[in-house]
Structures are given as C-alpha cells and as structure tokens.
Structure 1
C-alpha cells in the first residue's frame, strides 16, 4: 500500500533535473543509519516508466493499493485521486487499486479493509505473452466485463471456472508457463504443442476429389506437388 498526498513521477520527468540515463528497472536499495532502506540511485537515473512498474508488479506478483487524499489538487481540472485512478488503469485493473483516505489518515483501518475487499472481489487470469486464454464459468462465476475471470466474489465463496489455453504459434518442444491470478498466486501449466493432425501422414496422391491431379490430405486437396 502506498499512502501519499503528492503526485507521482514517471519516465522523462527526471530530465528537468538533468537525469537523462534511462531507469534500468533494477532494485537499488541500501540501509541508512536510521535502519531504513533508501533508493540511492535517484541522483543518477530517470524515473521508471509505467510499463516498467507494471512489469515488475507482474514479475513479483504484487498488487498495489494507492491511498490518496481526495482534496489534494494536481491542477485546475484533476485531483491527484483521479490521476492515480488513471495510473491504476494503465498498470491494470487487476494489479492496482485506488482508495481515498482522510487528511489525518484516521480511516486507515477501513481503507485497508476496503482495499482488501477490492483485491479479492474479482478473480481474474492475467494475460500471458504468446497465449490466448479463454474463461468459461462453471459454478458461482459471473464473468467480469472483460471476460478474464469471475466478478463480485465474496470472501470464502467457492467459484469454479474452466480455462482454455491456445498457443499463438506452434512450438515443437514442451513448455512450462505460469498463469498469473493476481492476489492468488500462479498456476503452473505444462504445454504440449499439437501442431499437426494425425491424418497429415495419410496422403492419397492423384485423388479423384482433386480432379486426379492433387493429393488428398486431411480432407483438403494439396496441388502444390
């Protein structure tokens, strides 16, 4: 959880201070004399981009909750709360949430409770590069608006849904991939590619269905030969 009454910085904002070196996305922390960890590379590198932050959140299975004071104004038309909602949208609806907090933070306990309920309310499957993922509800699962999981799930409710995974391109070797469920960990998948039908080896040359000039393969005429 991030509690703040200020805005945020992102890539290219550091140029104002002469920071032109791109952020490397690595963790640069060291303990100071007071026993707290400090990010010591800030005088040398620009701020990370939203994309870099999102990738690190996914990589480490982290869900971020921004607790922002509502009455802090960023400019004439937008409060910081709105800006953080836009940031959360860029990070991903399953990876970032925004809660409004009182100026004196007196409602911090209720904010944490609401944030936890927001995190656990939807059970969604994150996208995975190279895979097309489909969700089919089975029990107590009302699909989310984007069709990536179950919405409005109460604590201790049991939901069941089927997941279908299709590889975007055929790979010869078996693969192990992680299917992320933000807030609930990862599911390990073992993918065994099926790139050809069993009938592909059954070729009938000069078949009558191909005018006697083509080969019939899996019900299709192949006239390339």
Structure 2
C-alpha cells in the first residue's frame, strides 16, 4: 500500500473564533470576517486591535474575532471609533458596519469621521438591503429592487438613487484610502483582501482614514439561492457600484 502524506492547504486564522456561523446560507459576512481575521494575524496586530460594531447583521463580528470590542448605538460606530482611537492611539481600531447602518442613520458620523481624517479603518458591507430587521429598503437599494418597504421596487422619483459611498468618502479631505470590492467569486475575494490590507495600512502609517466597501449578498432577503445571489452581484450591483480605488494616499507616500 502506498503511503499518502496529507498536506494542510488551508486552516482557520488564529484571530477567528472556532465556532459554527449563525449567518444565513450564502451570506458573505463570513467571508468578510475571514479576510479581516487573516489580515490581523498576518499583519501581527490581533492583540492590539479594538473592534467597534454597530446595529445590524454586522454587529455579530464580535462573536467571531478574538479581539476586544465595543458595540455602538445604531449608526454611531465611527463616532465611537473616534473616541476609542483618540483615547488609545497606540491601538489598531477597526469598525464594521452594514449599509442600512452606515449610509442611513449613521451618514453624519461616517462623513465627519472621514473628513476629520480619524485614523481608523472602516469595513462597509453593502448588500443593498436591511438584513437583520426584515429586508427593508436601504440607501443602497438598487432602482426597481423590491423590498418589504418598496414592494413595487425602488422609485428614484420618490426615494432618490442608490448612494455610492466609496466615491463620496474618496472625495473627503481626511480620507487616505477608499475602495470598493466584491465578494462574489474567488478572483474578487483575493482583490478584496489586498484592498482591505491597504485600508488597514493607512491607519498604521498615520496617513488618515481608511474605508473599504464590500459588495455582498443577502440571499434570504433577496429571495434567491446563493448561486443566484452571486450572479446578481455581478450583473446588477457591480454595473451600478463600479469596483475600484477612489483614493489612495499610500501611493503618494511611497512615491
């Protein structure tokens, strides 16, 4: 009999808690969590990280990363992160928010945090809907998209057009890095990790505010299976929310 040697090709990052996910099948919060956990370990900052989460499905990140964390009121994570960073400037401060939270009730907080150039890193998960509370229309809900509060589809004449946050944040003076990536396939996930690392590095280098937008799925509230949801990201979300870097001061600093 031939001896077969097993080779470990993938393992859980030390920063990620060993527990089963509670998220719906096909939800990509878990992918975002893995990328963040891997980077914290690879960059050697897990023990120096302070996490801020806000209300929504995103809040449960504190159950999956082995870091000290604080839960902020709805939309106020950037304000809380500002206080955490200013009181502990020696720590790496990470905030994790969804689109209903950050781009609606928290719009003022994220805008002023970025404009002041607070040295924090924000992960923004955009799945075009309020996930936790029943699938209501969010600021990022696409034109014509049906939700529990827009059963006939979003009407730009009444509700306006979906908000493109990465572009807006990229225009603010204190922003050091702003980019949009997607989590719908392996190629995009690899690009997402590189971009997330840049959003973390600008904080480490003291350059200013770091922002990374992740286009993600919500199969449950989209009334789709996971495969259909991934296809929707490609065919509907990316055309309206173009992937790319909207500001990067690391290139200027290196140049």
TM-score (norm 2): 0.24
Higher relative contact order, chain-length normalized (CA < 8 Å, sep 6+) = 2
Q: Which is helix-richer, 1 or 2?
A: 2
